[in-house]
Structure 1
Amino acid sequence: MNLPVRFAQECARLGLGNGETLGLAVSGGPDSLALLVLAQQAMPSAIKVATVDHGLRPEAADEAAFVARTCADLGVPHETLHVSLEPGGNVQARARGERYAALGAWASREGLRFVATAHHADDIAETLLMRLNRASGIRGLGAMRERGMMPGRSDIMLIRPLLTMPRAELAMIVERAGLEAVDDPSNADPAYDRARVRQGLADADWLDPMRLAASAIHLRDVADVLEFAARHEFAAQVSMSEDGSQLAYNPAGPRSVRFRVLEEIVARYASEGTPRGEEVARLLESLESGDKGTLAGVMCTPRAGVWHFTAAPPRNDGAGEG
C-alpha cells in the first residue's frame, strides 16, 4: 500500500470524515514536513497548516517563513501563530502548553475539528526510556494515544496518524519530495533529557525503537486494564456515609488497583492541590501498614482492614498567636 493511501486510511480510522479539512501542525522539521507531504498527497484540497513561532530562537521566524513558502508551493493554506513565554523554568513544558493553546484557537477560528501532529514511533521509544529512568509507573510508561482532545479544549480532536512510522521513514519521505528540513539545535542539545536519550538510542544500534514503541503500546494496554479494574473496585468497595462527610474503602483488589482507587479518592476530595504519584504511593504504604496519614487535605485512617477518609481538620499555622 502506498504511503499517502495509508495516511488517509489512518486519518479516517481516527475519525476524520470524508472530505473534512484536516489541520496540520508543521514546524519545518523533518517529521512535520513528512506529515505535510503525506497529507498534501493524500488530501490536497482538504488541509490547512499552522506553524507556531515561540520566539525562543532567532531562527524561528525564518523557519516559519520556510514552512509558509513550502505550503505556498504546494498550494496549501498556511498561518504562522506567534506566542510568547514569560521568563521562568521548564521552558519546553511551558512552550508545549502555549503551542497547544495557539493551535486550538487557530483550529477553532478555521472551523477545524481535527488537528494532526507528527509524533512517530521513535518519539514513543524515547519517552519510554525517559520515563523508565524516572521510575514512572505503568500509566507513565504507556505509549501516547493516537487520538485525544486538544489540551484545554473539548471541541477539537488531536490526532497522531504517524505513530506507527519510524523517524527514518519520515526522513526518506522528505528527501524524496526534494525538501530540506530545518534543523532545530535543541533536538541535539544535551541539556534536554530527550536529546540525550535520542543520542543514546542512535549510539546503541542493538536497541530497536520500533520494538520499544511496541512495548510502550503493550504497557498502555495494561494501564487501561488497571483503570478498568480500579473503576469496578471503586464502585464495589467504596461507600459514603449518609451525610456525605466520610468515605470508607474496603480494599480487595491487587496493590496496583488499590493504588488507583486511593489516588481517585484523594483526587476527588483533595482541598490542598493535586498530589503527585509518589505521595499517593507513600500514603498507600502507610495504610497497608496500619498507620493513618493525611494527604492534600484528606485524612486517611485504617480501622479493622477498612480505610476511612474524611476532611482533615484545619492546620494551625500560628496565626493570631502572641
Structure 2
Amino acid sequence: MPPRHPTIASALGPVRRSLRAAGSPHRLLVACSGGADSTALVGLLHLLARDEALALIVAHVDHGLRPESADEAAVVARSAAERGLACVSTRLSLSPGSGLPARAREARRAALSAFATAHACDAIALGHTATDQAETLLMHAARGCGLEGLAAMRPWEAPWLRPLLELPRAGTRALCERMGMTWCDDPTNTDEEQPRIRVRERVLPELRAHNPRVEAALVCLATQAADAEEALRDWAAREEAARRRGADTWWSTDDLHRLPRAVRTRILRRICGLGGADLGALRAAVIEDIDRTVMARAAALGGTGAVLRPHVWHLRPGLHLRLDRHGLKLAGAAPGAQIPAT
C-alpha cells in the first residue's frame, strides 16, 4: 500500500461521504475504463475498503472501436489483480457512425447494469470528476435547460454513484502516481469533433483564466440547482395530490394562481404525466400556455362565479387536458398511468 499523502487524504474524504450518501453499500461495482479518472477511483475505494467493509468488483467495458482497446482492458485487469480485486470485462460490437457517443454510453450502462445484477452489487461507481460535471452543466446551459439541466449529474442516482464529483480531472493523474497505479490515455479524449471535448479544450480554459477554481464553482452551482429542483418537485407533488378530486382525472384549480410559477408549472407537468403524456416530448411552450390560461382565468373570475370559455390542450393522440370552471380534467388517460418521479 502506498504511503498516505495529503493529496490522497483530501480525496478520500469526498469518496467516503459519497458512500454514506449511497447508504454505505457493501458490494460495489467500480467501472474502470483504464483512464486516470476511473483508475484513481479504484485506488481510492481500495484504500477505504477495509474501513468501510466494502467488497469491490472492477468492471471494464471495451467498446471495440480502437485497436489499442484490448491493451487497455489488460491494464485494468492487471491493476485489479495487483490489489487482489475481482475483475470482470466485456467487449461490445459498436459500429462507427451517427450518434456514437450516445450509443456507446447506453451500451456501456447496460453492460455495467448486467454485471451489477450478476454479482449482487448494491451500487455502480463511476469515475466522473468535477471537470466532467462542469462540462455537462455548460453543455446543458448552452442547449437551453431549466434547474434540472443545471443540476447536471447527481452524486447518487441509484444505482449510479459518482464519488469524484468534487475532484477536478487535473488531480486524478497525481493521485494515480501517488498510489502507484498505471493508467491509459484515450486518444478520443482530445477529439475536438465532439462537443464535450470542445468545451473541455476551449471553453473551460478561458473560464479557468478568470477563476482557477471554476470547476468547484460550477459544481457548487449544480448542487444548488439540484437542491432547488428537489424542493420544488416535492412542493409540487404535495400541491398536486391535495388538488386531486376523486379519480386521477380531475384537479381543482382553486388558488392555484397564488402559488409561485415554478411550483405551478411542475404541478401541470405532473398532471400531464399522469395522463400518459411523454414529458420528454411535451414542449415547454404547452405547459407555459396552460399556466398563462390558468392565471388569466383566475384574474377574470375576480372572486366571482363567472363562467369562462373552456380551453383544451392535446397532449398526445387520444389524450387531452381541459380547463373549465370545474378545474383541470384529463380525458383519454393511459390505463394504469403513474405520476412520473420528476
Name the TM-score class by shorter chain. Answer: 0.7 to 0.9
TM-score by length of structure 2 reads 0.78
Match of 2:278 in 1: 274
Distance, in Å, in 2 between the alignment partners of 1:310 and 1:123 is 43
What SS class does the counterpart of residue 167 from structure 2 fall into?
Answer: coil
- Amino acid of the structure 2 residue aligned with 1:201: L
Q: Conserved in 2, the CA contact under 8 Å of 1:275 and 1:295?
A: no
After superposition, give the CA deviation of every residue in 1:144-182 in whole Å (9 maximum; x if it has no partner): 222222xxxxxxx32222222222222210122344422
Match of 1:223 in 2: 229
Shift of 1:60: 1.9
After superposition, give the CA deviation of every residue in 1:30-71 in whole Å (9 maximum; x if it has no partner): 100110111222227832201011212222222111211222
Distance, in Å, in 2 between the alignment partners of 1:13 and 1:48 is 20
Match of 2:322 in 1: 301
What SS class does the counterpart of residue 239 from structure 1 fall into?
Answer: coil
In structure 2, list runs of 5 or more residues that go unmatched: 1-5, 297-310, 334-342
Q: Conserved in 2, the CA contact under 8 Å of 1:287 and 1:302?
A: no
Q: Does 1:64 pair with 2:67? A: no
What SS class does the counterpart of residue 163 from structure 1 fall into?
Answer: coil
Q: Does 1:110 pair with 2:114? A: no
- Amino acid of the structure 2 residue aligned with 1:309: L
Q: Conserved in 1, the CA contact under 8 Å of 2:269 and 2:287?
A: no
Change (3 A) 1:56 1:240: farther
Change (3 A) 1:257 1:210: same
What SS class does the counterpart of residue 283 from structure 2 fall into?
Answer: helix
- Amino acid of the structure 2 residue aligned with 1:14: A
Change (3 A) 1:260 1:109: same
Match of 2:86 in 1: 77
Match of 1:95 in 2: 104
Q: Does 1:15 pair with 2:23? A: yes
Identity %: 34
Find 1:201's aligned residue among 189, 199, 204.
204
Match of 2:149 in 1: 140
What SS class does the counterpart of residue 61 from structure 2 fall into?
Answer: strand
What SS class does the counterpart of residue 331 from structure 2 fall into?
Answer: strand
Match of 2:340 in 1: none
Pairs aligned (count): 298
Distance, in Å, in 2 between the alignment partners of 1:198 and 1:54 is 22
Match of 1:152 in 2: none
Shift of 1:277: 6.2
Change (3 A) 1:121 1:305: farther
- Amino acid of the structure 2 residue aligned with 1:35: L
Q: Conserved in 1, the CA contact under 8 Å of 2:264 and 2:291?
A: no
Please list, as runs of the form range in 1=range in 2, the aligned pairs for 1:147-158 lying within 5 A after superposition: 147-149=156-158, 157-158=159-160
Shift of 1:257: 1.6
Distance, in Å, in 1 between the alignment partners of 2:97 and 2:327 is 45
Distance, in Å, in 2 between the alignment partners of 1:263 and 1:9 is 34
Q: Conserved in 1, the CA contact under 8 Å of 2:57 and 2:85?
A: yes
Find 2:49's aligned residue among 39, 43, 66.
43
- Aligned Cα root-mean-square deviation (Å): 2.6
Match of 2:176 in 1: 174
Q: Conserved in 1, the CA contact under 8 Å of 2:150 and 2:221?
A: no
TM-score by length of structure 1 reads 0.82
Distance, in Å, in 2 between the alignment partners of 1:133 and 1:278 is 20
Distance, in Å, in 2 between the alignment partners of 1:9 and 1:224 is 20
Q: Conserved in 2, the CA contact under 8 Å of 1:262 and 1:284?
A: no
Match of 1:154 in 2: none
- Amino acid of the structure 1 residue aligned with 2:30: L
Q: Conserved in 2, the CA contact under 8 Å of 1:230 and 1:258?
A: yes
What SS class does the counterpart of residue 292 from structure 1 fall into?
Answer: strand
Change (3 A) 1:54 1:86: same
Change (3 A) 1:264 1:89: farther
Match of 1:317 in 2: none
Match of 1:185 in 2: 187
Change (3 A) 1:258 1:10: closer
Shift of 1:305: 8.4
In structure 1, list runs of 5 or more residues that go unmatched: 150-156, 313-322
Q: Conserved in 2, the CA contact under 8 Å of 1:249 and 1:307?
A: yes
Q: Conserved in 2, the CA contact under 8 Å of 1:287 and 1:301?
A: no
Match of 2:303 in 1: none
Match of 2:338 in 1: none
What SS class does the counterpart of residue 64 from structure 1 fall into?
Answer: helix
Match of 1:26 in 2: 32
Shift of 1:74: 2.8
